Structure 1
Amino acid sequence: MDTSPTPALSALAQGNAAPQHGPRPLPLFLNILWHETEDDPELRKRAFQGLRRYQEASRPPPSCMPPVAASAGSARLLRYGTEKGRNPVVFIPSLINPPQVLDLSATRSMLRHMGAAGHDAYLVDWGAPAGDDSALGLDRHVTERLLPMLAALPRPPILVGYCLGGNLAIGAAALQPAKALATIAAPWNFDGFPPTDREEIGALWRSSKPMCQRLGYVPMEVMQSGFWAMDPSRTIRKYAAFADMAAGSDDEHAFLAVEDWANAGPPLSYAAGRDLFEQFYAANASGRGDWHIGGQVIDPHRLTCPTLSIRSATDRIVPAAASPEMAESRTLNLGHVGMIVGSGARALLWEPLSRWLSSHGG
C-alpha cells in the first residue's frame, strides 16, 4: 500500500494549507455544485477541478499583526498609520467574516493604502464572542465594544463602516461625536432587498434559530448558506474559472485570499444574529427609523457631521437600494467584495475615499 502523503497532507505539514473541508459548509457546497451542473458535465468537471485546486493550494505565511491601540472585550483596534495631527480614521468591518478583507494582501489592502497615504488609519477586529456573550446584541457591540475603543483615541475619529459595519458606525456616530462618517455597501433600508432574498433569509433563520439559541451563537456556516443561496450559479462558476487560472498569477493569489476570507470567521453572538435577522431583515427597523440603542433612535439623517454613502450598482449581497441615504452618495460598478479588493478598487474606491477623508480632517 502506498503510504506517501497526498499533496493536501503535504501542504498541511507545511502549515500553509487551506482548510481541507472548505468551502464551509462543504456538504452544502457540494449539493449546490451537483444541482447547478446537472445539465452541464463539463462545468461540473471544471468546478470539481477548481475545488480540488483550492483545497490543495499552499498559502503564504500570515503577515505580522499591526499594533493594538485599544481593546474592549474580545474586540481590538489595530493601527495602520501614525499620528500626524490629523483626526484618526477608523475602519469598521462587518461582524460576519474576519476583518482581513480590508487588509487582504500586500497589493490588495485598503488599510495599508490609507496608512501609506498619510492617514492615521485603524481597523476594528471584532474577535470571537466569549462563552458569556450570547446576549451581546448589535446595540451592545456599539456601546460595549466600539465606543470604548473610540474613546481611547486622541481626537474625534472619522468612521468608515463596511457592510454591517456601516450600521454599527452609524450607531456609534449617533451616540458619540464623530468628525465625519462614510459607509460602504451598508445594508440600512432592508425594503431595498429583493423580496425573494428576504424570504429566503427568513426561512433560513426560522430553521436555524432553535439550534442557535441552544448554542448561544450563530455559526458562520448559517450566514454562508444565506450568501450562497442568493446566487448559487456564481458560487459554482467561480470555482470552475479558478481551475483555468494561471499558476502563480495575481488572480490565483487573489482568489485564494478572498475565498479563505469568505470561508473563515468566528460565529456571531446569538443576540447579534437575532437582531440581524429579526430586527433588520424581517422588520427593517433601521430603514423605518425604529432601531434604538440605549433608548435613542439611530437615524443617519440626524447626524450633523459630514456623511458619505458608497454603494454598488452590481452588489448581490447589499443592493444599492438598501444603502443609507447620506449628505453625499457615490455609486460604483463593482461588486460587494470587488469594491474592496478587486482590480479596480484602488482607482474607484481607495483613492477617491482617501481624498474625501483628507478633505474632512483625516
Structure 2
Amino acid sequence: MDTSPTPAFSALAQHNAASQHGPRPLPLFLNILWRETEGDPELRRRAFHGLRRYQEARRPPKPPAPLAFASAGSAKLLRYGAENGRAPVVFVPSLINPPQVLDLSPSRSMLRHMSAAGHDAYLVDWGTPASDDGHLGLDRHVTERLLPLLAALPRPPILVGYCLGGNLVIGAAALQTPKAVAAIASPWNFKGFALADREEIGALWRGAKPLCQRLGYVPMEVLQSGFWAMDPARTIRKYAAFADTPHGSDEEHAFLAVEDWANGGPPLTYDAGRDLFENFYAANASGLSKWRVGGKAVDPKQLSCPTFSIRSATDRIVPAGAAPEMKQNVTLRLGHVGMIVGGSARQQMWEPLSQWLSSHGG
C-alpha cells in the first residue's frame, strides 16, 4: 500500500512549516504522524486538527520574569524569593529545553509556589551558549557556570536539580558541600534505560555527530527527535487529544505552555552534547562513578549532606531505575513533566518537597 503523503498533506506541511509555533523539527513530526496513524483515518484527522489548533492558538500573557541576582557567562541566577535568614534554595533545570518548565504559568509554577511557601527560591537560566562556548562540557557547566552563580549567594544553598540539572547539582555538591541536595527525575545510572532506547539514542548521535561537529553545537531538534523516538505513538495521541480540549480551559493553556517549552530552547554546546551521548548514555560514566568534575570522581552516595532522589514509575524520558540512589528516595507515578506541572504535582511533589526543604533549613 502506498503510504506516501498526499498532495493535501504536503500542502499542510508547507503551510505549517511557516507557522510561528512548532513542533520542531516539523518535517519529522509530520512523518511520525503519518506513520503512526496509518490505517486510522479518524486518529489522523484529529491529530492534524490538534496540530493546527496548537500552532494557531493565542497564548496567554506570561507573568513578569524575576530579576537576575547573579550571572556567569550566558547563565543567570533568577531570584523568586526574599531574604529570610534561611538557606537559599536553588533550582537547576536541565540544559535541554528552557528553564520555564519550573515557572510554566501562574497556576503551574513550582518556583512561585516555593516562594509563596516562604523559601528564598532561585532558578538557574542557562541562557544561550556563545559562539566560543563549544568547549563547555557538562563538567565545565558545573565549574564555570553553576559554581560561580552559587558563590554569589549569602550562605550555602540547598540545590534542587531537575532532569539533567540533577546531575549538575550532584557534580557541584561533590566539589562544594551544600546544605542539602535533591534530584528530580535525573538520569544517573544509564543501565536503567531500556537497551532499545539506548541503541536508538546511540544511532541518533552517530547520525547527527558530523553535523554537530561542524556547527560547534547540538541543535535542540536533535534532542527532540530522540525524545519522540522513545514513544512516537504518545507523541501523536496527545495532539489528537488536544483537538477535543475545551477552548480557554486551564488544560488548553497547560498544553500550549508545555509544548511551547518542549519545542523551544537553545542548542547544547558541542562538548556537553558529546558528554551526554558518549560518556553518559553509551559509557554510563555517571552510573559507574567515572564522571569527573574539577578532577574529582562524582558519586552521589558519597555526598556528606542530606540527599533526596525523586523519580517516577511512569517516566518514559528518565526511567525510575536510572535515577540516582540517595539517602532518601521516593517513587511517584506522575511522569517526567507531569511531576513538575501536572494537575497532581502540587499535592504529590511541590508540597512534600517544600516540607523536605524546610526540614533542612531552606
Pair in the same fold by TM > 0.5? yes
Partner of 1:9: none
Map of 2:180 onto structure 1: 180
- State the alpha-carbon separation in 1 of the partners of residues 59 and 350 from structure 2: 26
Query: Secondary structure of 2:247's partner?
Result: coil
Counterpart in 2 of 1:360? Answer: 360
Q: How many Å separate the matches in 2 of 1:82 and 1:192?
A: 39
What is residue 105 of structure 2 aligned with on the other side? 105
Kindly state the Cα deviation for residue 20 of structure 1 after the two structures are TM-superposed.
2.7
Matched, 1:346 2:343: no
Please give the secondary structure, in 2, of the residue aligned with 1:183: strand
Deviations 1:177-197 (CA, angstroms, capped at 9, x unpaired): 200000000000000000000
Q: Which residue of 2 aligns with 1:332?
A: 332
Q: Helix, strand or coil for the counterpart of 2:196?
A: helix
1:84 counterpart residue number:
84
SS in 1 for 2:213: helix
Question: In the alignment, which residue of structure 1 is the partner of 2:94?
Answer: 94
Corresponding position of 1:305 = 305
1:115-174 per-position Cα deviation (integer Å, ceiling 9, x unaligned)? 000000000000010000011100000000000010110010000000000000000011
Secondary structure, aligned partner of 2:70: strand
Cα separation, 1, equivalents of 2:194 and 2:58:
39
On the 8 A contact 2:175/2:294 being kept in 1, the answer is: no
Compared CA separation, residues 204 and 245, structure 1 to 2 (3 A): same
Q: What is residue 52 of structure 2 aligned with on the other side?
A: 52
**Deviation string for 1:24-48 (max 9, x for gaps)?**
0000000000000011000000000
Q: Deviations over 1:5-29 (max 9, x none)?
A: xxxxxxxxxxxxx953510000000
Give distance in 2, aligned partners of 1:65 and 1:309.
29
In the TM superposition, residue 61 of structure 1 has moved relative to its aligned partner by: 2.6
Aligned partner of residue 246 in structure 2, secondary structure: coil
Cα separation, 2, equivalents of 1:128 and 1:189:
28
For residues 28 and 245 of structure 2, the distance between their equivalents in structure 1, rounded to whole angstroms, comes to 25
Q: Could you list the runs of 5+ residues in structure 2 that have no partner in the other structure?
A: 1-17
Partners of 1:153 and 1:21 in 2: CA distance: 37
**% identical aligned pairs:** 79
1:154 equivalent in alignment to 2:120: no
Q: Counterpart of 1:283?
A: 283
2:35 corresponding residue in structure 1: 35
- 1:252, distance to aligned residue in structure 2 (A): 0.4
Aligned to 2:63: 63
CA–CA distance in structure 1, aligned partners of residues 31 and 150 of structure 2:
44
Please name the residue that 2:245 is paired with.
245
> 1:123 aligns to what SS in structure 2?
strand
Q: Number of paired residues?
A: 345
1:74 is matched with 74
| Larger deviation, residues 328-337 vs 60-69 | 60-69
Contact kept in structure 1, 2:21 and 2:260, CA below 8 Å: no
For 1:262, the equivalent position in structure 2 comes to 262
Deviation of residue 62 (structure 1)?
A: 2.9
Within-5 A mapping of 1:310-329:
310-329=310-329
Is the 2:89–2:120 Cα contact (8 Å) retained in structure 1?
A: yes
TM-score under structure 2 length normalisation: 0.94
Q: 2:284 and 2:91 mapped to 1: Cα distance?
A: 24
Q: Note the 1:87-236 alignment, pairs <5 A.
A: 87-236=87-236
Superposed CA offset, 1:84-119 (max 9, x none): 000000000000000000000000000000000000
Read off the aligned partner of 1:87 and give its amino acid letter.
Answer: A
Q: Deviations over 1:284-338 (max 9, x none)?
A: 0000010001210011111000000000000000000000000000100100000
Q: Which amino acid aligns with 1:314?
A: T
Aligned to 2:12: none
Contact 2:62 2:105 in 1 (8 A): no
- Name the counterpart of 1:11: none
